[in-house]
Amino acid sequence: MLQISGQVGPAKTFGSVSGNTSNQIRLIFVDDDDDFREAASAELEDLGFAVTSYRDGAALLAAVGEGVSADVIVLDWNMPEMTGIELVPRLRRQGVRLPVVFLTGRSTPHLESAALDHGALDFVDKARGMPILARRVRLIVESSKRPAELAVDETMHCGKLQLKPRISRAFWDGTDVNLTLTEFNVVRLLASRVGDHVSYRAVYDCMHHVGFIAGSGEHGYRTNVRSTIKRIRNKFRVIDPTFAEIENYPSFGYRWGGERKVAAA
């Protein structure tokens, strides 16, 4: 669990982060707009969150490791000096593994794809409002707790593929594929249904949550699914140029070839 305290600059803390109840989600909110940050943090607190806010990435990085725990981080996409997309890898290098949600005033498939590629679990347009953000954050936190209730000690084997859910790592012929958490979840979904086609919608729900809406048009989310699958394939092909396990069924979705079995880790 991330430990954070000691805000830098005049960023204000909302809610009692250290004294949260078992049902209260501890949320870190980073946005350089003072008025928006204060209003959004206050609204999230009214919605039941314990919110600690920071004015920029430097303030958050300076606070890492100093005492206050959190469950999720919400980052503004556009910030001076260090953007949200630049902040995520720096947090990861400092050992921060909390779920990250991007908040933006410019929601496009390209930006969403970039966010997911950098390890974010969700991407929310500011125009959708704090209640929508709150619902998505709750779904993410609940999902992150769910593996502890499942048989995460099992290791899944599917041909050359080995999946270790406890650490969310995928190996191909013994080599770590270096998938992001989102990419791992997609591969796990496909491999768990080996030989069966999985719809674009099901893959997208796995990337976000059931009912998530993004992209343009009725089926705009397919662009993001294709982009994610392309990144996954490319990572496998770095290890094995002949990799061809992820097959496409045009206009429907994807499937994983091979034979699946589960063995105790």
> Is residue 210 scored above 60 in pLDDT?
no
Do 159 and 82 lie in one domain? The reply is: no
What is the domain-level CATH number for residue 76? Answer: 3.40.50.2300
Of 130, 147, 164, at which residue does a domain stop?
147
What is the rounded distance in angstroms from the CA atom of residue 262 to the CA atom of residue 187?
15
Of 120, 147, 174, at which residue does a domain stop?
147
Do 8 and 139 lie in one domain? The reply is: yes
**Structure confidence at residue 143 (pLDDT):** 66
Is pTM beyond 0.85? Reply is no
Tell me the average pLDDT across 89-112: 78
Of 101, 119, 147, at which residue does a domain stop?
147
> Is residue 145 scored above 70 in pLDDT?
no
The model's confidence at residue 242, banded by pLDDT at 50, 70 and 90, is very high
Compare 146 and 195 and report the one with higher pLDDT.
195
For 173, the domain range is 151-264
Residue 102 — left, alpha, or beta (φ > 0 → left; ψ -120 to 50 → alpha)?
A: beta
Tell me the average pLDDT across 166-191: 89
Question: What's the chain's average pLDDT?
Answer: 78
The residue written with tokens 């430990």 in the block is 3
Flag the least confident range among 89-103, 145-159, 177-191: 145-159
Q: Which helix (H) or strand (E) holds 203?
A: helix 200-207
